[in-house]
Chains A and B, each alone.
Chain A
Amino acid sequence: MENLIELEKNYFKFRRDRQFIKEFNYYLTNYVGRPTPLYFAENLSRKYKCRIYLKREDLCHTGAHKINNCIGQALLAKRMGKKRIVAETGAGQHGVATATACSLLGLECVIYMGEKDYERQSPNQLKMRILGAKVVKVSSGSKTLKDAINEAIRDWVTNVQITHYLIGSVVGPHPYPIMVRDFQSIIGKEVKDQILKIEKKLPDILIACVGGGSNSIGLFYPFIEEKEVRMIGVEGGGIGSNPGEHSATLNYGTPGVLHGSYSYLLQDSEGQVMPTHSVSAGLDYPGVGPELSYLKDIGRIHFDVVKDEEALEAFFEISRLEGIIPALESSHALAYLKRISHEIKGKLIVINLSGRGDKDIEIIRKFVKEGKIE
């Protein structure tokens, strides 16, 4: 608890510190490559008879939005005098982004990765090692993201004096959910500026995928007060709605406590956390950010599910229509277009393309081999 109090104190201090903000923005511009383009997807728009913009977070350095938060937290860790970073990773995107920020800022880096993810996202674990990080395979529990978080937290509480835990999503104990949200809300801020400049009005609909919720709240947060903007969060529907077949926490979960926050949770009648499934490792998490849970309860954001096969279909659709290979996570958000195609004619839509799909090539190869896709 003392470490969280220390972190809260430091974060609240530095988020108002001019020098800190200047340095953060410097790296976002010159290292990450921000602002990322808001791209008018002409072919997709023609197909769905509306105006679709893609927020190109896939063009960030390291290939996903995760780096925004990593730069922010790594800079904070340095100011707090921490020499060592631990982090969890599911798809490997957060792990790669953390390893990258650590190389840049000269911090020791240890990444925990579930054994199941280690196998299915092998290019990313290799990248982390190239970047000088130590990658630890986690074989406890369900061998995925939640267990990697458990192990990262255990490491953190053991080595707390020299270590910062760089959590990758808007989950975990306070102040993590608000800190990660703040670092990621650069996405929504840019979208707001860009769309007003190009279209001279706010979007009708925002769509983002939701695992823990960092890319979605990053996009949504600056629009929360804009009541006329509809927001849709898309969860991993996996292969069905039975327990263990999906990772759709906000759709099928009930309130509970995991990793230090009270939020929706996939759990059984005994309060044990349930196994999850999603074709996309980055959505494969039984919890979700507490702020998103609240925004669901007050009805501000609508949450729905997209199944594995729908996401795969969208993966190919965007690749072939726009020449952009999206991450399987982001493909869930893109797949939602088809679902609402009957009601979006003429609308202005922004979809967060949170990451690129290179890391998913092995999964796609498997599906091709099994004859599930052409």
Chain B
Amino acid sequence: MSEIENRFKLILNENRKAFIPYFTAFYPSPELFRELIRIADRTGADFIEIGLPFSDPLADGKTIQFSSQWVLEKGFSLSGLLKELYYLKKEIKASLILMSYLNPLLKRGIKSLAKELKECGVDGIVIPDLPFEESIYINEIFKSNDIDLIYLIAPTSSEQRISQIDRWARGFIYLVSIIGVTGMRENLPNYLNEYVRRVKNLISKPLCIGFGISNPNQARRIAQISDGVIVGSALMNLIKENLNEKNLLDKFQKFIQELRRSV
């Protein structure tokens, strides 16, 4: 069993739901990023998803586009992030999951990167622009380094595809709540409950839901129908709105605590 699967077993045994906050790497600065991760960990995040900024983040809405571009403009290197994660991992309890578009990973070389990631304590990876059909080779490489490749399922995914993905998935399955890109939504879609039920009948892995979850109420509703809740844009947006505020970290802590409690 992988690290993520072990942790899920414990979480489910305790009759809890996993809370998975997302952070764009080094946003808004390396120092604040480190602080934000520490706060998230203290608040009881089970997993922390860290997004590698990319010049063309196709699956992301305005908020994460903004944070990614912000970090890239200040100068970003994957080596710098790996070093940071190596030290961060020693002081936090949460399991680390990397989110990256495919090209930066290819450029680094998947084989060597998988080793480096494991040394830094990364347990899982999400690659939003890697379709299942092209994923098997990459899946094997990560698997042999004990890193779970986490697959996404969308409302448009067919039953046949969902079953296929479940056979190859490790860790958990990332269910995209809406048709479209990341970003806050006023309302969750009406079809959500039925869609989640349909998917649950087809899969054996834990199911976490992300995309569009904006506030504690929505997070609570999602927690009721899933094994875990992923919140990204809402957190990145709060940081963006309070960039120049002295109490950024306090506000962040308050918001993430509310989210954690509601999950």
Q: Show the binding face of A for B, using Cβ within 8 Å.
A: 1-3, 140-141, 146-147, 150, 153-154, 157-161, 256-260, 265, 267, 269-273
Q: Give the complex CA separation of A346 and B132 in angstroms.
A: 53
Known A160-B156, A258-B103: A154·B180 in contact at CB below 8 Å: yes
A259 to chain B: which residues have CB within 8 Å? 56, 58
Assess whether B131 is in contact with A1, with CB atoms less than 8 Å apart: yes
Q: Does B102 lie at the interface of the complex (its beta carbon under 8 Å from any beta carbon of A)?
A: yes
Assess whether A257 is in contact with B129, with CB atoms less than 8 Å apart: yes
**Contact of A270 (CB < 8 Å), options: B65, B78, B156, B180:** B78
Assess whether B102 is in contact with A257, with CB atoms less than 8 Å apart: yes
Q: Which residue of A lies closest to B79 (CB)?
A: A270
A270 to chain B: which residues have CB within 8 Å? 76-78, 104, 107
Known A146-B56, A160-B156: A271·B104 in contact at CB below 8 Å: yes
A154 to chain B: which residues have CB within 8 Å? 58, 61, 180-181
Q: Give the complex CA separation of A150 and B61 in angstroms.
A: 11
Q: Give the complex CA separation of A159 and B181 in angstroms.
A: 11
A267 to chain B: which residues have CB within 8 Å? 103, 107
Q: Give the complex CA separation of A160 and B156 in angstroms.
A: 9
A260 to chain B: which residues have CB within 8 Å? 129
Q: Does B106 lie at the interface of the complex (its beta carbon under 8 Å from any beta carbon of A)?
A: yes
B246 → A minimal CB distance (Å): 30
B133 to chain A: which residues have CB within 8 Å? 1
Q: Does B9 lie at the interface of the complex (its beta carbon under 8 Å from any beta carbon of A)?
A: no
Q: A140-B69, A141-B55, A273-B55 are in contact. List 18 more A-B contacts (CB 8 A).
A: A1-B161, A2-B154, A2-B158, A140-B65, A150-B58, A157-B59, A157-B179, A157-B181, A158-B180, A158-B181, A160-B179, A257-B103, A270-B104, A271-B105, A271-B106, A271-B107, A271-B108, A272-B104
- Counting chain A CB atoms within 10 Å of each CB, which of B56, B132, B133, B156 scores highest? B56
A147 to chain B: which residues have CB within 8 Å? 56
Known A258-B103, A270-B107: A1·B132 in contact at CB below 8 Å: yes
**Contact of A271 (CB < 8 Å), options: B103, B131, B161:** B103
A273 to chain B: which residues have CB within 8 Å? 55-56, 103
Cβ contacts A to B, 12 pairs, < 8 Å? A1-B132, A1-B133, A141-B69, A146-B56, A154-B180, A158-B180, A256-B107, A257-B129, A258-B103, A270-B78, A271-B107, A272-B55
B151 → A minimal CB distance (Å): 11
Q: Which residue of A lies closest to B78 (CB)?
A: A270
A2 to chain B: which residues have CB within 8 Å? 154, 156-158, 161
Number of contact residues on B: which range applies? 20 to 34
B61 to chain A: which residues have CB within 8 Å? 154
Q: Give the complex CA separation of A104 and B105 in angstroms.
A: 44
Q: Give the complex CA separation of A1 and B133 in angstroms.
A: 9
Q: Which residue of B lies closest to A140 (CB)?
A: B65
A272 to chain B: which residues have CB within 8 Å? 54-55, 72, 104
| A-B residue pairs, 6 tightest by C-beta | A271-B107, A158-B180, A271-B104, A273-B55, A2-B156, A272-B55
Q: Give the complex CA separation of A260 and B61 in angstroms.
A: 18
B111-132 vs A: 1/0 string, CB under 8 Å? Answer: 0000000000000000001011
**Contact of A158 (CB < 8 Å), options: B55, B69, B108, B179:** B179
Q: Give the complex CA separation of A267 and B181 in angstroms.
A: 24
Q: Give the complex CA separation of A2 and B157 in angstroms.
A: 6
A159 → B minimal CB distance (Å): 8
- Counting chain B CB atoms within 10 Å of each CB, which of A1, A146, A260 scores highest? A1
Q: Give the complex CA separation of A43 and B229 in angstroms.
A: 70
Q: Give the complex CA separation of A2 and B54 in angstroms.
A: 24
A230 → B minimal CB distance (Å): 33
A265 to chain B: which residues have CB within 8 Å? 103
B104 to chain A: which residues have CB within 8 Å? 270-272
B201 → A minimal CB distance (Å): 18
- Counting chain B CB atoms within 10 Å of each CB, which of A2, A154, A256, A259 scores highest? A154
**Contact of A257 (CB < 8 Å), options: B55, B72, B106, B158:** B106
B54 to chain A: which residues have CB within 8 Å? 272
Q: Give the complex CA separation of A158 and B107 in angstroms.
A: 29
Q: Which residue of A lies closest to B152 (CB)?
A: A1
Q: Give the complex CA separation of A8 and B107 in angstroms.
A: 29
Q: Give the complex CA separation of A1 and B65 in angstroms.
A: 22
Q: Give the complex CA separation of A267 and B55 in angstroms.
A: 10
Assess whether B56 is in contact with A150, with CB atoms less than 8 Å apart: yes
Q: Give the complex CA separation of A257 and B104 in angstroms.
A: 9
B158 to chain A: which residues have CB within 8 Å? 2
Task: State which residues 40-94 of B face A: CB under 8 Å.
Answer: 54-59, 61-62, 65, 69, 72, 76-78
